[in-house]
């Protein structure tokens, strides 16, 4: 037995639910403090501030403000105590279950478990080559270490057939106790930090403690919180889970583990937004503590996002995901996608990552789309979905990123269908550049892109299918914007590129008779593909007019290509019959 006071008897007799019951009391105090904080503000401070002037009123208001901060302190910290106690109860239940199972087995076999955890077994008679032999009773000491850590057993083993079983049970008992001791120590440390500061002042140091406490509780009780989430379920099932969750548990997630639900498909947009706004400063602090340039790039982008979220006016923004994994994650909606009749979700392409350009350019494209669609039907929202790693340069582009992104995109869209309350909403998937391959790949998965009625492919290097009807929405619902001077829409097929090298853009015709095969399949703007090609501005010539990739980057922007931006808005806003048509290639 270890030196702790937690014995197997105590673990056996423990009632973990006691901690849950105590946790409910902490929750009640936390709730009461939340209500009292509001009363201080509304029934005390506000009327005094509005109607009274003079030193007495100023002094009273200052003192009431201190009281209100006390209630905020109580609300937050007592909420943390509650989560910690729930986590403790949940985490202790598992070793207790394993212990009780071992004790039951020992009792069935008529073994005796001694106070020190050793297991005694009775004498037994066994048949051997030498005839029947009596083997003596014995006792096995528990070993808390995991099986792989154990030294090999003694060379001469007792013959008593009970010995192995007794040893296994003693080991199980010791391991269960050791696990409980570790859990106990972890939670004790966390609880220790949750003691109230003395007095009534809520100083900066106290507030810093509160932030540390929240991070500590998040780490300690993470398994418990993760265990509550139905990750295996469909987004619709997660939505049902969230709807059925008692309010106090929802608050627990929002306050303590916002990162666990901020990116969970099936959780309503307003909740994801609330969770991600809480998580944003936490993620920023984490990135700030890392020194590498990549983290600094992401941090800069998040700062810019934070500024935009705080700006008054403009379209309401919903932060549906943020993350530092891979090249960074950011999913932002302009307009509420759960209450809008029309929702577009735009997958960005080549070179997109969580950086300043993403915020200042890529996100603005989604905003422009929302504004355009709202001119047609005010009940429209538009989302920029950076929920995958796009390839960062053309020479590393393969279908791998699209293959990995497609299931994530479909899960996100499935979440939207579960949370949208507009009744028979109209969804549009937009893929730009490499993002069109991701959309095409998503459409090819079984069942297609959940909920999607129309697909728009912009500046596409091919979408992995040969015909528009293969995208699952009917060829009349596949729209293509391909600017004449957009070099990406003229990339040669992959095998042609291999044969001809970089010059294949120019010599493409030699290898591809109809010149309608692109890097990732049939040119979506071609006759053979059969989609609806809409008018776009041709854009500046890449070489002659020094346009570079400009023609590839202006489809969404009314100031640069109003024809294309209007056509996108028409499709997204549900009036696709009004797009201006362009002849196919």
Partner 1 sequence: MAHEQSGGRHGPVLQHGRDPWAGASATAAELRVSAAEGRTGLGAGHDGLTARAAGLAAAAALAGVLTSWEDRLAAIRDECDHLSGTLRQATAHLGEVDTATAGAVAR
Tell me which of 67, 229, 309, 364 binds partner 1, using CB under 8 A: 67
Where do we find the tokens 């950086």?
355
Residue 25 near partner 1 by CB under 8 A: yes
Residue 243 near partner 1 by CB under 8 A: no
Tell me which of 3, 55, 154, 544 binds partner 1, using CB under 8 A: 55
Residue 38 near partner 1 by CB under 8 A: no
Tell me which of 171, 184, 265, 517 binds partner 1, using CB under 8 A: 184
Nearest to residue 264, comparing CAs of 295, 287, 298, 241? 241
Nearest to residue 564, comparing CAs of 530, 539, 527, 541? 539
State which residue, 16 or 448, has the beta carbon closest to partner 1. 16
- What is the three-state SS of 441-462? HHHHCCCCCCCEEEEEEECCCC
State which residue, 55 or 108, has the beta carbon closest to partner 1. 55
Q: From 1-9, 279-287, 307-315, 480-488, give the range in contact with partner 1 by CB under 8 A.
A: 1-9
Residue 122: phi and psi, rounded to 5, are -80, 165
State which residue, 188 or 285, has the beta carbon closest to partner 1. 188
Report residue 533 CA to chain centroid gap: 36
Window 509 to 548, contacts with partner 1 (CB under 8 A) = none
From the CB of residue 460, how many other CB atoms can be counted at a distance below 10 Å? Answer: 33
| CA within 13 Å, CB half, 287 | 23
Residue 199 near partner 1 by CB under 8 A: yes
| Burial class of residue 221 (count of CB atoms within 10 Å of its CB; 0-12, 13-18, 19+) | buried
Residue 21 near partner 1 by CB under 8 A: yes
At its nearest, how many Å lie between partner 1 and the CB of residue 451?
47
Q: Hey, what's the torsion of the CAs at 54, 59, 61, 67, to 10 degrees?
A: -170
At its nearest, how many Å lie between partner 1 and the CB of residue 7?
6
Using DSSP, state whether 149 is helix, strand or coil. Answer: helix
At its nearest, how many Å lie between partner 1 and the CB of residue 219?
15
Dmax over CA atoms of the chain, in Å, equals 106
Tell me which of 2, 38, 47, 226 binds partner 1, using CB under 8 A: 47
Residue 128: phi and psi, rounded to 5, are -130, 180
State which residue, 60 or 528, has the beta carbon closest to partner 1. 60
Tokens linked to 159: 């013959």
Where do we find the tokens 């403090």?
33
Where do we find the tokens 């009940």?
379
Residue 74 near partner 1 by CB under 8 A: yes
- C-beta separation of 524 from 482 below 8 A: yes
**By rule CB under 8 A, what count of residues binds partner 1?**
61
Q: From 47-55, 387-395, 529-537, 547-555, give the range in contact with partner 1 by CB under 8 A.
A: 47-55
Tell me which of 2, 38, 59, 237 binds partner 1, using CB under 8 A: 59
The pairing of strands 452-458 and 521-522 is unpaired
Where do we find the tokens 């900066």?
204
At its nearest, how many Å lie between partner 1 and the CB of residue 247?
19
State which residue, 188 or 498, has the beta carbon closest to partner 1. 188
State which residue, 21 or 208, has the beta carbon closest to partner 1. 21
Residue 115 near partner 1 by CB under 8 A: no
- C-beta separation of 462 from 524 below 8 A: yes
State which residue, 183 or 299, has the beta carbon closest to partner 1. 183
State which residue, 40 or 402, has the beta carbon closest to partner 1. 40
Tell me which of 2, 52, 133, 514 binds partner 1, using CB under 8 A: 52
Report residue 278 CA to chain centroid gap: 13
Q: From 5-13, 222-230, 497-505, 565-573, give the range in contact with partner 1 by CB under 8 A.
A: 5-13
Q: Mind giving me the DSSP string for 567-582?
A: HHHHHHTT-GGGPPB-
| Cβ neighbours of residue 43 closer than 8 Å, sequence gap 6 or more | none
Nearest to residue 386, comparing CAs of 426, 421, 354, 340? 354
Residue 56 near partner 1 by CB under 8 A: yes
At its nearest, how many Å lie between partner 1 and the CB of residue 172?
19
Q: Which helix (H) or strand (E) holds 521?
A: strand 521-522
At its nearest, how many Å lie between partner 1 and the CB of residue 187?
4
Tokens linked to 58: 């100023």
Residue 454 near partner 1 by CB under 8 A: no
Tell me which of 128, 132, 151, 198 binds partner 1, using CB under 8 A: 198
Residue 2 near partner 1 by CB under 8 A: no
Tell me which of 2, 38, 39, 514 binds partner 1, using CB under 8 A: 39
Tokens linked to 120: 């005694």
At its nearest, how many Å lie between partner 1 and the CB of residue 71?
8
Nearest to residue 532, comparing CAs of 465, 466, 454? 454
Residue 26 near partner 1 by CB under 8 A: yes
Which residues, listed in sequence order, are joined to residue 124 by a DSSP beta bridge? 135
Residue 206 near partner 1 by CB under 8 A: no
| Cβ neighbours of residue 39 closer than 8 Å, sequence gap 6 or more | none
Q: From 72-80, 119-127, 231-239, 423-431, give the range in contact with partner 1 by CB under 8 A.
A: 72-80
Distance, in Å, from the CA atom of 332 to the CA atom of 276, rounded to the nearest integer, reads 10
Q: From 23-31, 140-148, 211-219, 454-462, give the range in contact with partner 1 by CB under 8 A.
A: 23-31
Residue 315 near partner 1 by CB under 8 A: no
At its nearest, how many Å lie between partner 1 and the CB of residue 120?
23
The pairing of strands 478-481 and 380-386 is unpaired
x/- map, 79-108, partner 1, by CB under 8 A: --x---x--x--------------------
State which residue, 36 or 484, has the beta carbon closest to partner 1. 36
**Residues of the shown chain interacting with partner 1 in the complex, contacts defined by CB under 8 A:** 4-7, 10, 14-15, 18-19, 21-22, 24-26, 28-29, 32-33, 36, 39-40, 43-44, 47-48, 51-60, 62-64, 67, 70-71, 74, 77-78, 81, 85, 88, 184-185, 187-189, 191-192, 194-200
């Amino acid at each position: 037995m270890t030196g702790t006071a937690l014995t197997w008897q105590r673990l056996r007799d423990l009632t973990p639910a006691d901690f849950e019951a105590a946790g409910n009391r902490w929750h009640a105090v936390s709730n009461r403090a939340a209500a009292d904080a509001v009363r201080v503000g509304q029934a005390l401070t506000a009327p005094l501030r509005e109607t009274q002037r003079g030193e007495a009123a100023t002094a009273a208001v200052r003192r009431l403000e201190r009281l209100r901060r006390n209630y905020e302190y109580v609300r937050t910290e007592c909420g943390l105590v509650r989560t910690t106690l729930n986590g403790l109860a949940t985490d202790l239940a598992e070793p207790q279950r394993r212990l009780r199972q071992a004790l039951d087995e020992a009792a069935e076999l008529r073994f005796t478990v001694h106070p020190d955890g050793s297991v005694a077994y009775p004498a037994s008679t066994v048949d051997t080559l030498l005839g029947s032999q009596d083997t003596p009773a014995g006792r096995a000491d528990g070993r808390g270490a995991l099986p792989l850590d154990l030294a090999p057993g003694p060379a001469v083993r007792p013959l008593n057939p009970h010995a192995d079983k007794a040893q296994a049970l003693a080991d199980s008992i010791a391991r269960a106790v050791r696990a409980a001791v570790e859990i106990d120590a972890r939670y004790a440390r966390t609880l220790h930090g949750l003691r109230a500061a003395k007095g009534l002042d809520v100083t900066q140091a106290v507030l810093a403690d509160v932030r540390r406490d929240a991070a500590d509780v998040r780490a300690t009780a993470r398994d418990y919180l993760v265990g509550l989430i139905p990750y295996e379920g469909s987004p619709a099932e997660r939505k049902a889970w969230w709807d059925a969750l008692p309010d106090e548990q929802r608050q627990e997630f929002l306050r303590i583990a916002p990162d666990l639900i901020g990116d969970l498909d099936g959780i309503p947009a307003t909740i994801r937004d609330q969770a991600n706004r809480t998580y944003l400063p936490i993620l920023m602090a984490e990135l700030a503590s890392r020194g590498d340039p990549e983290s600094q790039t992401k941090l800069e982008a998040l700062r810019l996002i934070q500024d935009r979220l705080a700006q008054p006016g403009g379209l309401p923004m919903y932060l549906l995901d943020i993350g530092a994994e891979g090249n960074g994650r950011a999913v932002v909606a302009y307009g509420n996608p759960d209450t809008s009749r029309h929702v577009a979700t735009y997958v960005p392409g080549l070179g997109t990552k969580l950086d300043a350009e993403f915020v200042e350019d890529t996100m603005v494209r989604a905003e422009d789309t929302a504004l355009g669609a709202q001119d047609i039907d005010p009940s429209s929202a538009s989302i920029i979905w950076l929920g995958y790693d796009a390839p960062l340069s053309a020479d590393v582009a393969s279908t791998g990123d699209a293959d990995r992104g497609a299931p994530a995109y479909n899960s996100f869209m499935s979440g939207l269908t579960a949370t949208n309350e507009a009744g028979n909403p109209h969804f549009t998937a937009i893929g730009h550049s490499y993002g069109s391959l991701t959309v095409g790949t998503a459409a090819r998965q079984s069942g297609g892109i959940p909920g999607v009625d129309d697909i728009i492919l912009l500046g596409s290097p091919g979408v992995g299918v040969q015909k528009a009807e293969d995208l699952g929405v009917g060829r009349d619902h596949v729209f293509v914007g391909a600017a004449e001077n957009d070099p990406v829409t003229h990339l040669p097929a992959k095998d042609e590129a291999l044969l001809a090298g970089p010059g294949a853009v120019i010599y493409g015709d030699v290898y591809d008779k109809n010149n309608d095969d692109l890097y990732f399949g049939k040119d979506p703007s071609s006759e053979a593909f059969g989609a609806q090609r809409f008018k776009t501005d041709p854009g500046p010539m890449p070489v002659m007019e020094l346009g570079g990739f400009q023609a590839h980057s202006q489809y969404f922007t009314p100031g640069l290509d109003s024809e294309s931006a209007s056509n996108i808005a028409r499709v997204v806003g549900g009036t696709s019959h009004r797009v201006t048509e362009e002849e196919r290639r």
